[in-house]
Chain A
Amino acid sequence: MLRIRKLPIIGFALFIIVFPWIAGTIPAIGNYPDLMIFAGIYCLITIGLSLLMGYAGQISLGQAAFYGIGAYVSAILTVHFGLSPWFCMVIGMLIASAVAVLVGVPSLKLRGHYLAMATLAFGIIVFIVFNEEIEWTGGPDGISGIPGLSLFGFEFDTVLKYYYLVWFLVFAAFIFTINVIQSRSGRALRAIHISEAASSAMGVNVSRFKIMVFVYSAILASLAGSLYAHYLNFINPSTFDLFFSIKLLIMIALGGMHEVWGAIVGAFLVTFLSFEWLHFFEEFEVIVYGIILLLVTIFLPHGLVGIPGIVKGWFRR
């Protein structure tokens, strides 16, 4: 029976809460809360992606585009029109879901990996738009001067405050997703992954569920994009390129895509690998990712979160 235990979630929440205070006392990891903000932003995307890929079995190669849509909608509407960042965030999510429906409906009605191809093309198109629509997006130079976030006069102007904001949202998305997985909708998604024929014979509207979860993943990616934009106050297209979409796939493959925990572990690991631990590889970074991914797929098909299961298996013998 699929049961997600509460204890690890509470433990993880406590860790997230106290981490900045611990990091503050150790100079060597003093910059880690800042990295954790990025890890949190990536977690938002990978949580949605894990539901889409690990549970519903659909591949998206264009998740960076939804991330970009969130970031650019927030940036353009706040910088050019002076609208409230929170309002822009919601508009971003609405636009991302509308776009997801447009991309998803034709490709998800078909059986097979049409979504992968459609999103691959879509991701490239969006990337070109970010680069070429100079009047609105600033082209390759991007947009700067994006305002920070504040709520009822409370400014999220320090790393610490933003850290808690991002992680609050990550937990909200995490819990929401876990609840979905443990419900009728989640069972339908897992059923679709194994057999579309049997799912529809059980009355599951297969294409509707696939579209729904794709939209959900797009909304989370867009939210992540908005958070990114308001945190850095500056965006440019290179953040939202095809390689980032691939990197997201690496995250969930590494962490393990059949569990939402995998999305979090993977996002963490790749964030720290790319910002800290793999820095000295410079442009060879891609190769290192390739090797890691290769090893994980061969030896840990369920990703890093599959390790406890393997260890348990040893002891049972």
Chain B
Amino acid sequence: MNETLTEHILEVEEVVMAFGGLMALINLNFQVKKGMIKAIIGPNGAGKTTLFNVITGTFPPTEGAVRFKRQSIERLKAHEIAKLGISRTFQTVELFTNMSVLENVMVGCHTRTRSSFIASGFRLPQVKRKEAQIRSKAMEVLEFIGLTDRSEESADSLPLGDRKILEIGRALATEPELVCLDEPAAGLNETETQAAADLIKRIKEKGITILLVEHDMKVVMDISDEIMVLNYGEKIAEGIPEEIQNNHKVIEAYLGGEEDYA
């Protein structure tokens, strides 16, 4: 157990992301240990989502390196990174609203299956077989996230809590080793938040590493093994939850001049 825990699944080295003159990430360095839940927190605009976009290949970093299992991925395309084993969810839920719950998860299976456009057109026997495999795998995922009985419903019809859960399920269907969850509890009520947190813990138990951006401090402190704090694109603190809670730099960044933050 100890051996696997010390292995770094993701290494971010001197990453700079500049949008014109705006520096969204400044010389960022950090590692994620395999099998852990690492949370990234910070005030709005700190660069958390930008960091996710860099890691998952939405855009390449201006400078620096991102390594996944010791392989450089910073110049790879998003779909190539997905294939290597990094998946993600989105802050604003990006489900395929024109599909059923099941089909959304089936799209998640895309990268682990092959069947060509032409073979599908002729509906060759192997295509049928693969469709059945994809379907049963997607059903397994739905069972894991607890949405089996809504499989045929339109993804659009789900309440926000379930949509967030479904998006996590869709990410899991890609069989990732690292999942980047962008605010999985945002906009959820207490019960839904608890359900999301429990799900995240169960994902960890499967041996999947989790990178988590979240504003709900209760969730973050409760489930994270390690926390990194970003402010204006820079890392200002990193450590286990207890250390972060007592870090004066963090308190300053969060409190700033505002008084209403508890």
Q: Decide whether A and B assemble into one complex.
A: yes
A contacts, CB < 8 Å to B: 1-2, 176-177, 179-180, 182-188, 190-191, 193-195, 197-206, 212, 216, 258
A1, A179, A190: the one contacting B96 at CB < 8 Å is A190
Minimum CB distance partner of A177 in chain B: B121
B113, B120, B174: the one contacting A179 at CB < 8 Å is B120
Bound-state CA distance A2–B106 (Å) is 12
A-B contact number at CB 8 A: 110
- Asked whether A198 lies within 8 Å of B95 as measured between CB atoms, the reply is yes
> For window 112-163 of chain B, which residues contact chain A by CB distance below 8 Å?
112-113, 115-117, 120-123, 127, 130-131, 134, 152
- Asked whether A195 lies within 8 Å of B96 as measured between CB atoms, the reply is yes
- Asked whether B88 lies within 8 Å of A179 as measured between CB atoms, the reply is no
B contacts, CB < 8 Å to A: 56-58, 77-79, 82-83, 87-88, 90, 94-100, 102-103, 106-113, 115-117, 120-123, 127, 130-131, 134, 152, 170-171, 173-174
CB distance from B148 to the nearest CB of A (A): 14
- Asked whether A216 lies within 8 Å of B107 as measured between CB atoms, the reply is no
Minimum CB distance partner of B128 in chain A: A183
CB distance from A207 to the nearest CB of B (A): 9
CB-CB under 8 A from A188, the residues of chain B are 107, 110
Minimum CB distance partner of B52 in chain A: A201
Name which of A193, A195, A203, A212 has the most chain B CB atoms within 10 A of its CB: A203
Minimum CB distance partner of B173 in chain A: A202
A2, A177, A184, A194: the one contacting B134 at CB < 8 Å is A184
CB-CB under 8 A from B99, the residues of chain A are 2, 187, 190-191
- Asked whether A184 lies within 8 Å of B98 as measured between CB atoms, the reply is no
Per CB-CB distance, the 3 closest pairs between chain A and chain B, nearest first, are A203-B111, A183-B120, A203-B82
Bound-state CA distance A190–B127 (Å) is 18
B57, B77, B113: the one contacting A184 at CB < 8 Å is B113
From known contacts A190-B99, A197-B90, infer whether A202 and B117 are also in contact, taking CB-CB under 8 Å: no
